Amino acid sequence: MVSFCGRRFAFLIIFLFAAQYERVYAGSFHKDVQIHWGDGRGKILDNVGNLLSLSLDKFSGSGFQSHQEFLYGKVEVQMKLVPGNSAGTVTTFYLKSPGTTWDEIDFEFLGNISGHPYTLHTNVYTKGTGDKEQQFHLWFDPTVDFHTYYGIPIREFKNSEALGVPFPKHQPMRLYASLWEAEHWATRGGLEKTDWSKAPFTAFYRNYNVDACVWANGKSSCSANSSWFTQVLDFKGKNRVKWAQRKYMVYNYCTDKKRFPQGAPPEALFFLTSSANLMEWSEEEGEILPDFVDNYYFIDQSEELVKFCDLPLKWNSVDYDDDSSGLSVFLRGNIDSGDESFSKLVKGWNFYLSSVDEHPKIEFLHFVKRNPDVASGDVWSSLQKVHGIQPSEDDF
């Protein structure tokens, strides 16, 4: 008998835009999906259509797809992954549009040898281009029980069209799931091969639900009102993303300097300078002091990756202000360019850091060049929008 575990874990790429859509709740594999490949290796296991299995052997894997296409929505499913030595296997749950310039949102579970954690491999394709991988080690065993994949965000892919990065908001996508073999890359970069003596490998899917906007006749005609899809990540949600990335992320394309020697992709710059929780805090003798985190980076105008904790920072002052958002903390300082290894990179720059939270954490990092002829209005404007406060130029 397949058991159910009530633990909930989510892997969502949060799209920060509103939509109008008709809610559709899919609840039956019989009614809502088609097993479209595998020659009998995919099976619906009950009359109601709540439980489906996919299997993989040396000759073929298997997969299913939704009958309908969706433009906006959210999906949840309970999954129980391949147990034991699953090296070289990939169990997926993803969204994809048709055509040569497709959009795609990938969630792929990479198998491993017994006793090692599964890796969740995420990727985003926009207009046929991917290369946006982030990977996480799962902090639980996804093979013992079913787990509901919904609720806790671990990744956020923001709309960066202003930076020239396409965003998947125009092409409706089908939901797909599959179990297939990728021993050339899936486990430790291909070092661990598939042990076919353990075949067939089997993964289970249960209680598949879709709350989404169905695309039909070339358009989506839906009623919005006020619901989850008009919301953005709140402070709690952002902290959950940071928690997962800080503790369990094992690969991030944004910080892969070898892969991107000419500089990180544009949307990665946004991730590094805006989304990262750059500092934790501790209190010492009544003063709030920065306690640097080793694995965060920022990028300067020449798009060079630099460890934030390695910079020779000099703090000048800490100021407080009360506004409608609560406690605001502003730190002002400069980079001591006496360290020759950083002098060429950061010489002539001041930094301005700010935070709004009852337990202050840095959320925004701005660098302003020490040159009176350089306009800094954009920097002040961005801070003013967030905090309702406009710093004085005398601070720099």
Alpha-carbon distance 122 to 104, whole Å?
Answer: 10
Residues 52 and 175: beta-carbon distance below 8 Å = no
- Quote the pLDDT of residue 73: 78
Residue 54 has pLDDT above 90, yes or no: yes
- Quote the pLDDT of residue 163: 79
108 is catalytic: yes
Catalytic member of 22, 69, 76, 108: 108
* Whole-structure pTM value: 0.67
Catalytic member of 69, 104, 192, 363: 104
Residues 184 and 109: beta-carbon distance below 8 Å = no
Question: Which of 31, 36, 29, 22 has its CA nearest to residue 51?
Answer: 29
> Which has the higher per-residue pLDDT, 239 or 41?
41
- Quote the pLDDT of residue 231: 62
> Which has the higher per-residue pLDDT, 134 or 337?
134
3-class DSSP state of 75: strand
Residues 140 and 9: beta-carbon distance below 8 Å = yes
Reported as a single tens digit per residue, the pLDDT across 299-328 is 333 333 333 444 444 444 444 343 333 333
> Which has the higher per-residue pLDDT, 30 or 335?
30
Reported as a single tens digit per residue, the pLDDT across 144-159 is 999 887 667 888 888 8
Residues 86 and 105: beta-carbon distance below 8 Å = no
- Quote the pLDDT of residue 359: 39
272, burial (CB in 10 Å: exposed 0-12, middle 13-18, buried 19+): buried
Interval 25-29 mean pLDDT: 72
Type of residue numbered 80: K
Type of residue numbered 367: F
Confidence band, pLDDT 50/70/90 cuts, at residue 382: very low
Type of residue numbered 118: Y
Interval 374-378 mean pLDDT: 29
104 is catalytic: yes
Assign 3-class secondary structure to 166-200: CCCCCCCEEEEEEEEECCCCCCHHHCCCCCHHHCC
Interval 75-83 mean pLDDT: 92
- Quote the pLDDT of residue 369: 38
- Quote the pLDDT of residue 220: 62
List, by residue range, all CATH 2.60.120.200 domains of the chain.
Answer: 4-230
Residues 326 and 310: beta-carbon distance below 8 Å = no
Structure tokens at 123: 């990727």
To the nearest 10°, the Cα dihedral for 251, 253, 257, 262?
Answer: 170
3-class DSSP state of 236: helix
Residues 210 and 26: beta-carbon distance below 8 Å = yes
Reported as a single tens digit per residue, the pLDDT across 180-216 is 999 999 999 999 999 999 999 999 999 988 887 787 7
Residue 160 has pLDDT above 50, yes or no: yes
Reported as a single tens digit per residue, the pLDDT across 234-258 is 666 777 777 788 789 999 998 888 8
- Quote the pLDDT of residue 133: 95
Structure tokens at 326: 């609560």
Residues 26 and 50: beta-carbon distance below 8 Å = no
- Quote the pLDDT of residue 219: 62
Reported as a single tens digit per residue, the pLDDT across 343-374 is 433 333 444 444 434 333 333 344 433 333 33
Residue 99 has pLDDT above 90, yes or no: yes
Q: State the CATH architecture for 4-230.
A: Sandwich (2.60)
